[in-house]
Amino acid sequence: MLRRRLVAALYASWSNSKDQNIKLNVRGHFMKKALLPVAVAALLPLSAMADVTVYGKANVSLQNADENGDSKVELVSNASRIGIKGDEAITDGLKVIYQFEYQTEVDDGVGGNGQTFGQRNIYVGLQGSAGTIMAGHFDTPLKAAQEKVDVFNDLEGDLVHVFNGEIRASNIVQYTTPKSFGPFVGNIAYITKETDGVDNGVSASIGYSASDLYLAVAMDRDVLAEGVDMVRVVGRVNLGAVQLGAMYENTDIDGLDDGDGFLVSALWNLTDTWAVKAQYAESDYKIAPGGLDNESLSLGVDYKLSQNAVVYGYYSAVETQDGASASLRDDDYVGIGLDLKF
Amino acid sequence: MKKIVMILLCGGIASVSAEECVLAVDVAESMNVNASNECDSTDSGLNGVVHRWFKRDQKSSAGNSPQEKEIPRASIKVSPPANSAESLATARFELLSAISQECVQGFRITDEMYLPVDGELTIRLLYECL
């Protein structure tokens, strides 16, 4: 009961907050002005453009959504995006790195706040033998620590619907250890709220990354909101064609109840083209949007058309107790889609 | 049950392919700034078009600038005097051989002169390396 009141209060506070630094949009922080990536590209010097990589993906699915008793067929764009990234050498051991990435809605062309392009991971930084320092608007180390364990990333089964730490932060400065550390990598980020009297956030992670094994521990302090701390532990192992993943997250709110969440996933590459996958996740509560006893179960199949294109089918069941109204919500989704990467 | 799992895993191991490169969009999503296994897409797809376009653009802007335009440097080689048709042909061949060693990508003869010296002929070749 205490937990329900807590989440309801947090949800209400979050919904009414005018502070954009606290009201972090977990699905993409949308720009106030529609800014074409092309315009950004045009601002770069010609020498920089020579080393630029244009990339993106169009991920669209047709799904039947049974949400809270209402059933409808909908076409959804699943975090489709376009971006440019690259680097420019300053000296032998030092280079400037940059990335500009924007989300676009393939289904109807309109994203959040009525804008066509929403800002995703954007940064500029310096990379050298001592590591990388970068600044901008991008995923916190805790969010990035999930690596590939979420096998329904960007779909309805995405762990963002269950876990708290999926934050793309504004005004973030990050240091990453250098390549010379081999499979070990450490990240520490400082997120300024740009508000007097509000504690700024810190996010950090340490990981070991090899092709068949990935392990990471990450933490957030005052990132989602002042007084909210998180710890996340992630693991992935590849046993031949089978990938197994697991994640644990603890959310602690100053002086109040803390909540746990976990995820397990499996992906099996049956052949070079066919793969089946399953994922289950649950958490005690989610702060924004507020929800209690969240559960998500997803099953899916992928058919690889090429290295860049995948046709997929999925079923996801997402259950949550609304933090504000305390009503139980049970949503089901079944759909097919196409994911094209370039 | 254990047997079934083992069979599935063995089947999986048999069908696993070598580690592939990672597409730029996935590298970007991972926020891994140290990634070294990103697919090289400079010659294919949209990036191929972009890179070719910029290379062409750079080339044409270089061509439009007289200061930056590379002017081939003309050189000259002279043969020793020859007093017979055979020695003249040999002298010319030796000149061309010497030029070809200097101009590994080929050359162009821009002028060829035969000058009398004490009743013999000297060959003078003007050339430009390609």
| Set of chain B residues whose Cβ sits within 8 Å of the Cβ of A99 | 28
What residue type is assigned to position A188 of the chain?
A: I
Of A214, A209, A216, nearest in space to A233 by CA: A216
How wide is the angle at C-alpha B44 spanned by C-alphas A118 and A106, nearest 5°?
Answer: 25
| Distance from C-alpha of A172 to C-alpha of B114, rounded to nearest angstrom | 76
DSSP 8-state assignment for residue A256 = S
Which residues pair with residue A146 across a beta bridge? none
Compute the nearest-CA separation of B105 from chain A (Å). Answer: 26
pLDDT for residue A178? 96
| Cβ neighbours of residue A4 closer than 8 Å, sequence gap 6 or more | A292, A321, A323, A326
Using the predicted structure, report yes or no on whether residue B39 has a pLDDT greater than 90: no
C-alpha B19/C-alpha B106 separation (Å) is 43
Q: Rounded distance, CA B66 to CA A87, Å?
A: 30
- Please tell me the pTM assigned to this model: 0.72
| pLDDT for position B40 | 81
Cβ contacts of B55 on chain A, cutoff 8 Å: 50
The Cα–Cα gap between A126 and B30 comes to 18
Percent of chain B whose predicted confidence (pLDDT) is above 90? 17
Give pLDDT, residue A22. 37
A340 CB within 8 Å of a chain B CB: no
* Three-class DSSP category at B17: coil
Q: Per the CB < 8 Å rule, is A178 touching B34? A: yes
Of B8, B13, B17, the CB nearest to A272: B17
Taking only the tens place, the pLDDT of each residue in A32-72 is 444 444 454 455 554 555 578 999 999 999 999 999 889 99
* Residue A318 CA: distances (Å) to CA of A154, A281, A288, A328: 14, 9, 16, 11
| pLDDT of res. A180 | 92
Looking at residue B129, its pLDDT comes to: 86
> pLDDT band at B110, cuts 50/70/90?
confident
Degrees, nearest 5: CA angle B27-B31-B32: 70
Nearest Cα neighbor of A191 from A128, A252, A143 is A143
User: In this predicted model, what pLDDT tens digit does every residue of A164-220 receive, in sequence order?
Assistant: 999 999 999 999 999 999 999 999 999 999 988 888 999 999 999 988 999 999 999
Contact B15 A241 (CB under 8 A): yes
CA distance B124 to B130: 19
- The answer on pLDDT for B102 being more than 70 is yes
Q: What is the mean pLDDT of residues A280-290?
A: 87
Residue A114: pLDDT band (50, 70, 90) is low
Per-residue pLDDT band for B128 (boundaries 50, 70, 90) equals confident
Residue of higher predicted confidence among A123 and B111: A123
A99 reaches B (C-beta below 8 A): yes
Q: What percent of chain A shows pLDDT beyond 70? A: 84
Nearest neighbour of B9 by CB, restricted to A52, A239, A342: A239
CB contact under 8 A, B46 and A83: no
Contacts of B86 (CB under 8 A, 6+ apart): none
Q: Which whole-number Å values give the CA distances from A179 to A134, A340, B101, B115, in the listed order?
A: 15, 30, 44, 66
Compute the average pLDDT of residues A91-103. Answer: 94
B/e letters for B77-95, b = 16+ CB within 10 Å, e = fewer, are eebebbeeeeebeebbeeb
The C-alpha of A287 sits at a distance from chain B's nearest C-alpha, in angstroms, of 24
pLDDT band at B18 (very low <50, low <70, confident <90, very high): very low
Name the more confident of B94 and B16.
B94
Mean pLDDT for chain A? 86
Q: What is the pLDDT of residues B43-86, one digit of tens each?
A: 777 777 777 777 776 666 665 555 555 556 678 888 888 888 89
- Position A14 scores a pLDDT of 46
The answer to whether the CB of A290 falls within 8 A of the CB of A10 is: yes
